């Protein structure tokens, strides 16, 4: 039971308690109190996460990207992996404002590990890869989206962005003598 209580899934915690009641486990009163306490903690954590996310969005709008990253990070710490995706997407945008492309790549990869179908996560990964000099890999990420949705507006826009970054990097590259 203790391992379940350490988790962040309210439904799993409540289901474990229900199963224990159904099988007539001893000491349920204590376990039930522990479950109720953990559920209350999780619900408070979710509310706090929403507040941190909102504060991060306000800070990002005012271009305080460091403050935004800090607040999005606090929200992520309070969320279970599936619920982290919105905060991770927002933190990608803040990292973009700071030109911290390796961190964008890490967050985008985390998004895709939770939701492999996340177009926004894949677009952030493509943008990060392009800015890290991996234009072919960036293009390949976008092709995953465009193969299924050839008119995907954000993916097409990102494709133009990746091409522009690749051209700029090629122009900056030293020429062989």
pLDDT band (50, 70, 90) for residue 159:
very high
Instruction: Enter the pTM of the model.
Output: 0.76
pLDDT band (50, 70, 90) for residue 1:
very low
Q: CB under 8 Å to 20, separation ≥6 — which residues?
A: 1, 28, 31
pLDDT band (50, 70, 90) for residue 42:
low
Q: What is the mean pLDDT of residues 1-12?
A: 56
Lowest mean pLDDT among 20-24, 35-39, 156-160: 35-39
pLDDT digits (tens, 9 = 90+) for 73-107: 999 999 988 899 999 999 999 999 999 999 999 99
Domain boundaries, the chain: 101-177
pLDDT digits (tens, 9 = 90+) for 112-146: 999 999 999 999 999 999 999 999 999 999 999 99
Q: What is the mean pLDDT of the chain?
A: 87
Give 2 or 9, the one with higher predicted confidence.
Answer: 9
Task: Quote the pLDDT of residue 26.
Answer: 59
Q: Which long-range contacts link 113-119 to residues 24+ away (Cβ below 8 Å)?
A: 114/81, 114/82, 114/84, 114/85, 115/82, 115/85, 118/85, 119/145, 119/149, 119/152, 119/154, 119/155
Q: Which long-range contacts link 157-166 to residues 24+ away (Cβ below 8 Å)?
A: 158/123, 158/126, 158/127, 161/127, 161/130, 162/126, 162/127, 162/130, 162/135, 162/138, 165/127, 165/130, 165/131, 165/135, 165/138, 166/130, 166/135, 166/138
Would the pLDDT of 4 be above 50?
no
């Amino acid at each position: 039971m203790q391992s379940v209580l350490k988790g962040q899934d309210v439904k799993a915690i409540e289901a474990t308690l229900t199963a224990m009641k159904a099988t007539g486990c001893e000491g349920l009163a204590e376990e039930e109190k522990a479950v109720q306490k953990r559920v209350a903690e999780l619900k408070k954590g979710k509310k706090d996460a929403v507040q941190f996310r909102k504060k991060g969005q306000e800070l990002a709008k005012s271009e305080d990207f460091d403050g935004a990253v800090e607040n999005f990070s606090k929200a992520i710490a309070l969320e279970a992996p599936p619920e982290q995706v919105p905060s991770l997407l927002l933190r990608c945008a803040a990292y973009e404002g700071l030109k911290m492309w390796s961190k964008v790549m890490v967050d985008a990869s985390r998004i895709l590990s939770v939701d492999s179908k996340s177009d926004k996560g894949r677009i952030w990964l493509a943008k990060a890869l392009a800015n890290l000099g991996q234009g072919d890999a960036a293009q390949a990420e976008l092709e995953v989206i465009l193969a299924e949705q050839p008119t995907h507006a954000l993916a097409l826009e990102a494709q133009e962005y990746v091409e522009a970054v690749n051209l700029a990097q090629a122009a900056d590259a030293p020429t062989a003598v």
